[in-house]
């Protein structure tokens, strides 16, 4: 059976550059990979072999020149320059082209040293009261983490001469496993990705170069933080392997619910309950703020839902000098647990309202019932 043209196999023109040929090969190799074609594995393997064979010829300058001149005959026994031909392509073991492409697929890279790895970043969640968040505070926190071993100073051994390059991976930290046409990079089983082997491990850290410890740190929390705010402490995360730099520690804020105030950014909100007499006649009432009590004037005839704004009584902005406001929401309470005299006084007040036909004392009530009458026609 005649072989298919190599250029046609890869879907490229005869003038295609090596980069274009490589790009076409990568696309087709992924398309016909047997793992992606479980329903038709045999056909996929055959296609895969065709694609690889075409790629190996067209990316080799000598083979490509021979193919362009003689076609497939260039690789038959007894043909080609010198009469020896270029030999066949049987199998997939040992072709560098496949190694390079497979490495690209899986993010590999030959000779990439794994001798050091930056330590992991950590997160510490801290709960604060609203007062602490608004004013700023210093806190001590205890963080369990990995720290550099104070005996070997991160080397894994007390003697530098006891650290040797791994003979299995030759310092790469990875090894290549091959099965048929599969070639996969894996962490070196001898050095576990480090690229080096410790001959006489440190007795304290057992060659890790780091030990577990609970660190006590002082954290200065600025005024204005809110739930979700984070502070980064550089180098206070886990110590890296083999003396590599430590990661960072992120302290994340969680503000506890407050008994009086609700926070909205830099503004605060609170409810101010007042009795019916104060709401009707007006007067003074003390209201709380984060910095103490202040006097609030309630005008006569104040209704439930009325909002009073106290400027500058909120929370300082985290990224500026501005301060939010405090919004006081009035709630007029219905009196309870009345004495006999108080009940008589309220009855008398109610009768006086009925006697006055103008309805000027309850404007919202009149407006509401006018709308009800209109609604029902």
The residue extents of the domains of the chain are 6-105, 122-255, 262-336, 350-375
| Residue 83, pLDDT above cutoff 70 | no
As a whole number, the mean pLDDT across the chain is 82
* Residue 180 scores a pLDDT above 60: no
Which residue has better confidence, 104 or 39?
39
Query: What pLDDT, on the 0 to 100 scale, is given for residue 153?
Result: 84
What's the CA gap between 89 and 56, in Å, rounded? 9
Q: Highest mean pLDDT: which of 184-188, 310-314, 362-366? A: 310-314
Give SS3 for 306.
Answer: coil
Instruction: Kindly report whether the global pTM for this prediction surpasses the value 0.85.
Output: no
Q: What number does CATH give the domain 6-105?
A: 1.10.287.110
Contact in structure between 110 and 172 (CB atoms under 8 Å): yes
Q: Say whether pLDDT at 114 is over 70.
A: no
- Specify burial of residue 107 (Cβ count, 10 A radius: 0-12, 13-18, 19+): exposed
Range 226-249 average pLDDT = 90
pLDDT by residue (tens digit) across 8-24?
898 988 888 888 888 88
- pLDDT in the model for residue 324: 96
Instruction: Supply the angle between the helices 96-105 and 18-31 in degrees, to the nearest 10.
Output: 70
In this predicted model, which residue has the larger pLDDT, 107 or 131? 131
Least confident of 90-99, 146-155, 179-188, 277-286: 90-99
Q: Report the alpha-carbon angle 10-14-19, nearest 5.
A: 65
Return the CATH superfamily for domain 262-336. Urease metallochaperone UreE, N-terminal domain (2.60.260.20)
- pLDDT class for 64, splitting at 50, 70, 90? confident
Tell me how far apart the alpha carbons of residues 268 and 259 are, in angstroms, rounded to a whole number.
12
Could you say which architecture CATH assigns to the domain 122-255? Ribbon (2.10)
pLDDT of residue 50 exceeding 80, the answer is yes
Cα distance from N-terminal residue to C-terminal residue, the chain: 93
Q: How far, in Å, CA of 198 to CA of 157, rounded? A: 7
């Amino acid at each position: 059976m005649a072989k298919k043209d190599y250029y046609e196999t890869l879907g490229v023109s005869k003038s295609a550059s090596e980069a274009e040929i490589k790009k076409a090969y990568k696309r087709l190799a992924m398309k016909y990979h047997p793992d992606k074609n479980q329903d038709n594995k045999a056909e996929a393997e055959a296609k895969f072999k065709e694609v690889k064979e075409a790629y190996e010829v067209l990316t080799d300058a000598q083979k490509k020149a021979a193919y362009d001149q003689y076609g497939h005959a260039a690789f038959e026994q007894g043909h080609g320059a010198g009469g020896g031909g270029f030999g066949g392509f049987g199998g997939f073991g040992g072709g560098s082209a496949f190694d390079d492409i497979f490495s690209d697929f899986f993010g590999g890279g030959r000779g990439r040293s794994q001798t050091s790895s930056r330590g992991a970043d950590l997160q510490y969640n801290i709960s604060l009261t609203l007062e602490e968040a608004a004013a700023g505070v210093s806190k001590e926190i205890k963080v369990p983490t990995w720290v550099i071993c104070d005996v070997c100073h991160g080397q894994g051994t007390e003697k530098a001469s006891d650290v040797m390059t791994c003979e299995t991976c030759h310092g790469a930290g990875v090894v290549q496993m091959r099965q048929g046409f599969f070639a996969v990079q894996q962490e070196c089983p001898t050095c576990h990705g480090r690229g080096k082997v410790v001959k006489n491990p440190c007795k304290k850290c057992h060659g890790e170069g780091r030990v577990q410890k609970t660190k006590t740190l002082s954290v200065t929390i600025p005024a204005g933080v809110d739930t979700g705010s984070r502070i980064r402490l550089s180098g206070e995360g886990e110590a890296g392997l083999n003396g590599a730099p430590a990661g960072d520690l992120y302290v994340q804020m969680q503000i506890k619910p407050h008994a009086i105030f609700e926070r909205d950014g830099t503004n605060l909100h609170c409810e101010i309950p007042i009795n019916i007499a104060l709401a009707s006649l007006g007067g003074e009432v003390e209201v709380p703020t984060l910095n103490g009590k202040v006097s609030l004037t309630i005008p006569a005839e104040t209704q439930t839902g009325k909002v009073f704004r106290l400027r500058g009584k909120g929370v300082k902005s985290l990224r500026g000098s501005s301060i939010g406001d405090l919004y006081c929401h009035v709630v007029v309470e219905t009196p309870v647990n009345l004495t006999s005299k108080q009940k008589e006084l309220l009855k008398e007040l109610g009768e006086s309202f009925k006697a006055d036909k103008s309805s000027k004392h309850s404007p919202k009530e009149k407006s509401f019932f006018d709308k009800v009458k209109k609604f029902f026609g």
